Amino acid sequence: MQIHVVAQGDNLWLLQQNYGVPYQDIAAVNQLAEDTQLVLGQSLLIPVQGRVHELQRGDDIWKVSEKNKVSVDSLLRMNYMNNPSFMPVGSRLFIPDVVRQKPSIDVGAYVDLQITGAESAEEVARVGEYLTYVQIFSYELNEDGSLTPINDQEVINTAYDNQVVPLMVITNIEDGAFSTELARTVLQSEELQNVMLDEALAIMDEKGYLGLDLDLEYLGAELRENYNQLMQRARTRLDERGYLLSSALAPKVEPGMTGLLYEGHDYAFHGEVADFVFLMTYEWGWTGGPPRAVAPINEVRRVIEYASTVMPTEKIMMGVPLYGYDWTLPFVAGETRARAIDHQEALELARNYNAAIEFDEESQSPFFTYYDEEGLQHEVWFEDARSIQAKFDLVIELGVKGVYYWVLGWDFPQNWALLEDNFNINKRI
């Protein structure tokens, strides 16, 4: 896949001429109707067996040959050229693929039954070929240690149909939000921890889960050791059945980070006890905060690099968001609430309001602004092919176990094509 950024005057027919790829193929991989108006600054995937390089000032065919490890003769032959000395600035060279060995990674994705509802199994089936695990969200913990049941059997069955490992997710969510008090009640009682694990294991045995993912958040420093004790108990109990254990951890960038979200998560202990951990490398831009990228690559890098100093890198699953936010300006702390949107909705907003998409180099993330019918200014940050590729490049550079997504149902067709282009996906069943 090659990433093309839409310039003024671009359309599918012109891209077909420039890349030698049928416009129908370009429309299909980007899930575009053939008459869709392209947005200035929009990222498109071009399914070419190679890529196109536009000569810049100071470029020549010999420099391109050296940089891309392709012989000059091959470039001449592939581009039907006889005179390499006459190549003006702006000339386009097709560069054939060099055979490369794609790394193999694990890929997970959360499916939130409250978001996708009856269509949850369909979402898993639609992308199951790209997944190693599916984390089914969630069994909510109760004060007596019991778990609120969910309708998950169809999703589990669909996971098996696609050779995807189903993971049972337990959360301390109460009335729609993570509850510190609820976690305190259960974690400070060995008896209640055992009630929870007894019920979890019974559900896993009955329904066919192959692993347990603990997602207990906003614990604070007081519950850090209690959470560690639960992880150790879970490890012992799960080992008896050969089940996997994972946990979802807040994005820490240094030791001793303060804050209710961070202090309860012991990176080193979880890295030792769990089979792998899901690092929540997103939500820098969030619904209650000021406009910024949801998963800026510079911040994601800091988390992974720190985590690698205290836990095995081969246990790290890097979080990737499939969503963005639309903020209404001006931002007022404590009052402004951004609206979550997916990639396709972001493009539709830019198209409808004739907004040009820009790209922030530091965060490697796209954004744009627009004015609505009431004259209010909005700022939108989201993910596109460029931002996803930057994250994949980081996975390859740092050598982590893999990636996972929050959350299925936020449609982003380019992601799956890029994932397949960059990696071989491990199947564990």
Instruction: Supply the residues annotated as catalytic.
Output: 217
> What is the CA angle 381-385-387, rounded to 5?
55
User: Contact at 8 Å (CB) between 63 and 53?
Assistant: no
- Give the integer Cα–Cα distance in Å for 370 and 356: 9
Residue among 131, 152, 157, 128 at smallest CA distance from 140: 152
- Give the integer Cα–Cα distance in Å for 72 and 76: 6
| 176 φ/ψ angles, rounded to the nearest 5 degrees | 85, 5
- Give the integer Cα–Cα distance in Å for 261 and 361: 28
